[in-house]
Each structure stands twice: as C-alpha cells, then as structure tokens.
Amino acid sequence: MLPQEIIRRKRDGHRLSASEIAAFIEGITAGTLSEGQIGAFAMAVFLKGMSREEAVALTIAMRDSGDVLDWSDLPGPVTDKHSTGGVGDNVSLMLAPIVAACGAYVPMISGRGLGHTGGTLDKMDAIPGYTSQPDVARFRKTVLETGCAIIGQTADLAPADRRLYAIRDVTGTVESVPLITASILSKKLAAGLGSLVLDVKVGNGAFMEKSRDAVALANSLVEVANGAGLKASALVTGMNEPLASAAGNAVEVRNAVDFLTGRVRDRRLEDVTLALAAEMLQSAGIVSSNQDGIRRAAETLAGGRAAAVFGRMVTALGGP
C-alpha cells in the first residue's frame, strides 16, 4: 500500500493493520518517505489516536527497524527506567548507578530534550570527554564491567524512532500518547531488557499537566510493553516544580554528583530516586518488597558504592 493511503486511512479514523504499520515504518527506516509524509502520519495519529493493538504493532515495528541487544551472557537481571521528562529531572544519573551497585545491570538508552523538557543525554554530554554514543561493543563492555551505561541511541538501535522523534518535536505532535508510547518502548525493547520501570511525570513542568492524562499514559506504556513481551510497571510522580535544585545540563550533573557523594541531597529528588530504585529492584527480582528495595538502595547510596559506580561508568565512556 502506498504511504499516502496509510496516512489517509488513519486520517479518516480507520484502524491500521500490523502489516500497514510495519510498511510505513520500513519506509521511514529506508529513507523513502519524506518529512512531510512522516509529519502527516504523526498528525493523523495525534488527532485520531490508536488502538492498543495498533500501538503494540507500531512499537514492535520501530524496535525491529534495527538491532535488538542480547544480554543473556550477563550474570544478573537487566533492567532500566524511563522518565517522560520534566524540568530539573536528573534522576537517571543517580538511579542507574544505585541500581547497578545493588546487583542489576542497567543499559540505559536515553533521549535528548523534547519540547521544554531536558534530556538525560544532553546532561551526559555536559561531561567533558564523555562518549554518549559509543559503538555497541563499547556499550556492552561498559555495562558488563561497571554495571550500567547511560548512552544515546546508536545508529543500529530503533533507527525509525530517531527520525520520527525529531519530526514530532517540530510538528506539534509531542503529546500524542501512542507516539510517546512507541518512541519510549521501541528503544527499551531494542535494549533487550528483562524489566522496565516508567516514571510518568504530571504537572505544569511535564507534558501531561492533568492527572488523568498522566494515568492514561502510564496505563498505555505498561499495557503496550506487556503486549510486546516486556515486563513493565509505572509510577506517576509530580512535576509542578523542578526535582533538583538546579535546571540546566551542567549544573544538573553537578547536582547529581553532590547527591551521590552525599554533599547535598534535595529531599524531593531523594524520595523519587529511592522510590524508583525500589521499584526497579523489585521488578528485577533482587528484593521481595518495596520496603526492602528502599532500604537496599539507601544503604548503597550511603555507603558510597553508587558514587563509585557512576565514576567508573563515566571513566569507561571517556569522561574524567
């Protein structure tokens, strides 16, 4: 089917088949579709929505547009977290090393800023010398040796998402729940995770300002992830004010280092970080309860083990 026919069908409110969605995503990956066609498709989805089955098919097609990592050789569970984005949200910088220091492996593939929110990858790029887009071999080596790595999408992982992600940002389709869902989950499925915890932000600093919208996104993410074969859970956390007492890439990295080393810890940031760490540890099977997860994460943080993991990760990826 011609791409314009697929766009027209979605524009008119019809459900797309998995084969139609796969064909459109193949066109994005191959570079045979124009930015206008991709933008028109994104707007049609934004206006007409997608069924859960369509969202699963879109996510899987975007995952399969590139390679899928295999971590079966690692001697521990593989897990990750994703935030839908906010202001002063540098949780990932502390969370990945905390969870890694507790015995899990965290191959975190992050994104850049979208709309008004800051991206984890932009923060990591503020570290002099840090390689945020290493090749897969270096990424795997870093995860194996340090327990975690925070990087951006490589050319081989979910390449269709990278192009669609950029077009959403300039076509007024950022807030589309199916597109957000597929964008997030295609990267996470390509990362070969065993489990995923989602931090869905709500408030005037988030994409979802109303609780009902945030809950709808959380439900979509969990249901589509499960439908695509990935164990997932979600927390909805507030974003009416910055989490960290800093907003800006370099200063948020400094704030994260201060947090990990115990120099300064913002209370709200600590509460959210420990809650997410506990959820990740429980979903990975390292602890049996949320309370045990919070205790384990807090002990790891207080003992300096998480700070040590962060330092080794940064060094392994070219930082100071």
Last residue of a domain, one of 12, 33, 64: 64
Residues 8 and 105 in one domain: no
- Please tell me the predicted confidence (pLDDT) of residue 84: 84
Active site residue 188: yes
Residues 285 and 180 in one domain: yes
Q: Could you tell me the CATH number of the domain that includes residue 231? A: 3.40.1030.10
Interatomic CA distance for residues 193 and 69, integer angstroms = 8
Helices (DSSP H) in the chain: which residue ranges?
3-11, 18-30, 35-48, 52-63, 91-101, 120-124, 136-146, 159-170, 177-190, 211-227, 249-261, 267-283, 290-302, 305-316
Active site residue 14: no
- Please tell me the predicted confidence (pLDDT) of residue 118: 64
In the predicted structure, residue 113 carries a pLDDT above the cut 70: no
- Please tell me the predicted confidence (pLDDT) of residue 114: 61
Residues 234 and 287 in one domain: yes
Residues 112 and 203 in one domain: yes
* Cβ pair 203, 237 in contact under 8 A: no
What is the pTM (predicted TM-score) of this model? Answer: 0.88
Residues 137 and 242 in one domain: yes
Is 52 a member of any domain? yes
* Cβ pair 46, 179 in contact under 8 A: yes
Is 235 a member of any domain? yes
Last residue of a domain, one of 64, 98, 116: 64
Count: domains in the chain: 2
Residues 50 and 192 in one domain: no
Residues 223 and 313 in one domain: yes
Active site residue 187: yes
- Please tell me the predicted confidence (pLDDT) of residue 310: 98
Of 10, 112, 123, 168, which residue is the catalytic one? 168
- Domain with 231, as residue range(s), is 79-156+174-317
- Dihedrals phi, psi of 198, to nearest 5 degrees: -110, 130
Active site residue 67: no
Predicted confidence band at 214 (pLDDT cuts at 50, 70, 90)? Answer: very high
- Per-residue pLDDT tens over the stretch 55-78: 999 999 999 999 999 999 999 999
Of 65, 117, 120, 237, which residue is the catalytic one? 120
**Mean residue pLDDT across the chain:** 93
Is 126 a member of any domain? yes
Active site residue 116: no
Active site residue 81: yes
Of 29, 65, 79, 83, which residue is the catalytic one? 83
Is 164 a member of any domain? no
Residues 234 and 257 in one domain: yes
What's the rounded mean pLDDT across residues 153-165? 89
Active site residue 199: no
Active site residue 92: no
What's the rounded mean pLDDT across residues 114-121? 70
Residues 194 and 247 in one domain: yes
**Could you give the percent of the chain with pLDDT greater than 90?**
81
Of 142, 146, 183, 186, which residue is the catalytic one? 183
Active site residue 34: no
